[in-house]
Amino acid sequence: MSGSPPLPHTHLSHRVPDLGALELLLAVIRLGSLGRAAAELGVTQPAASARIAGMERQIGVALLERSPRGSRPTEAGSLVAEWAAPVLAAAQALDAGIGALRERRDTRLRVSASMTVAEYLMPGWLMALHTALPDTAVTLRAANSADVAAQVLAGEADLGFVEGLRTPAGLDEVRIAADRLHLVVGPSHPWARRRRPVDGAELAATPLVLREEGSGTREVLDRALAPYGGTAAPLLVLASTTALKAAAVSGAGPAVLSELAVADEVARGRLVPVPLTGLDLSRPLRAVWPTGTRPAGPARELLSLTRGK
């Protein structure tokens, strides 16, 4: 059979004391007093004495000789202390390493977000995150929803934000907001003066300025127009919301875009919304992460901020 061999099973003997007991033994030998060792480790002397006694029963030999002048190791106690010293040193190194990993995790955040979320929602969320966690270094990558999912699954992002109708396979998700697509044209386009709503059949037959396949915007539009035969051959296919808006503003053709993306241009009269009828162009915005895990550290904090908690 091919593949990696199974990891060996390591079972410590019941005779091996726990790290806390070994640490206490070394402290008693170093300080020459059970009382001083107990004080240094922040336990009571009776508790320390009971722990030493329990360790002696566990090992099966006496480890300390007690007298009014203090405590000193037996021959067996010296040997156990000698063997225990590197074990404790290794445990301290492990603890320091784990601490460094946690610190690195807690001071770095890699986010991948769909274009709409990255451009119109993420700036505010990241400002709030900086207020809450000022030492966190954030890397933000903007991509279409399919690429965001791939980056999260590949471990290239700690948290992802996608648009669209489905959660990609292999990812857990939570809905963070709702969005709706609007049909818009430039002021010079004939539809800018239109009062009669555009229905699904007419929109499906009209060449549009479109986002690329794999984007959440394109997925929602394709799904809505599927009963009408799908979208017509596009006038243009563009990979960014900004480029799509510029094309629509110039009069290149109608575009279907997030209400978040077009709000400013509509308010300034650079784009004109065209009424639609019979089409559901609503969509959820979701945060995603690998199935079976939970966002931690800054990722958890950012997720809380997006949900208003």
Per-residue pLDDT of the chain (309 residues; tens, 9 = 90+): 444 455 454 556 677 888 888 899 999 888 988 889 899 889 999 998 999 999 889 889 999 988 888 888 899 888 988 888 888 878 877 776 666 566 555 578 999 999 889 988 999 999 999 999 888 889 999 998 889 999 999 999 999 999 878 888 899 999 998 899 999 999 999 999 999 999 999 999 999 999 988 888 999 999 999 999 999 999 999 988 889 999 999 999 999 999 999 999 999 999 999 999 999 999 999 999 999 999 988 999 999 999 764
Tally the residues of the chain. 309
* Claim to verify: residue 89 and residue 214 sit in the same structural domain: no
Residue 282 pLDDT: 92
* Claim to verify: residue 153 and residue 200 sit in the same structural domain: no
* Cβ-based neighbour number of residue 71 at 10 Å: 22
Structure token digits, residue 206? 């009209």
- Using CA atoms, how far residue 236 sits from 7, 158, 221, in Å, is 55, 33, 15
* Claim to verify: residue 146 and residue 290 sit in the same structural domain: yes
* Claim to verify: residue 183 and residue 278 sit in the same structural domain: yes
Looking at 61, 85, 104, the residue that finishes a domain is 104
Range of the domain at 87: 19-104
Q: Is residue 5 part of a domain?
A: no
Report the interhelical angle of 19-31 vs 34-41 (nearest 10°): 130
CATH number at residue 25: 1.10.10.10
Rg (CA), the chain: 32
Residue 13 pLDDT: 62
Q: Is residue 53 part of a domain?
A: yes
Contacts of residue 83, Cβ cutoff 8 Å, sequence gap at least 6 = none
Angle at 284 (CA atoms; ends 280, 290), nearest 5 degrees: 140
Strand partners, 142: 113
* Claim to verify: residue 188 and residue 257 sit in the same structural domain: yes
Number of separate domains in the chain = 3
Q: Is residue 44 part of a domain?
A: yes
* Claim to verify: residue 114 and residue 255 sit in the same structural domain: no
* Claim to verify: residue 182 and residue 274 sit in the same structural domain: yes
* Claim to verify: residue 291 and residue 149 sit in the same structural domain: yes
Q: Is residue 200 part of a domain?
A: yes
245 neighbors 233 (Cβ within 8 angstroms): no
Element (H, E) at 209: strand 209-211
Structure token digits, residue 14? 């019941």
* Claim to verify: residue 272 and residue 189 sit in the same structural domain: yes
Q: Is residue 12 part of a domain?
A: no
CATH number at residue 221: 3.40.190.10
Q: How far apart are CA 242 and CA 105, in angstroms?
A: 33
287 neighbors 303 (Cβ within 8 angstroms): yes
* Claim to verify: residue 192 and residue 275 sit in the same structural domain: yes
* Claim to verify: residue 146 and residue 294 sit in the same structural domain: yes
Looking at 104, 126, 141, the residue that finishes a domain is 104
* Claim to verify: residue 81 and residue 130 sit in the same structural domain: no
Looking at 104, 127, 146, the residue that finishes a domain is 104
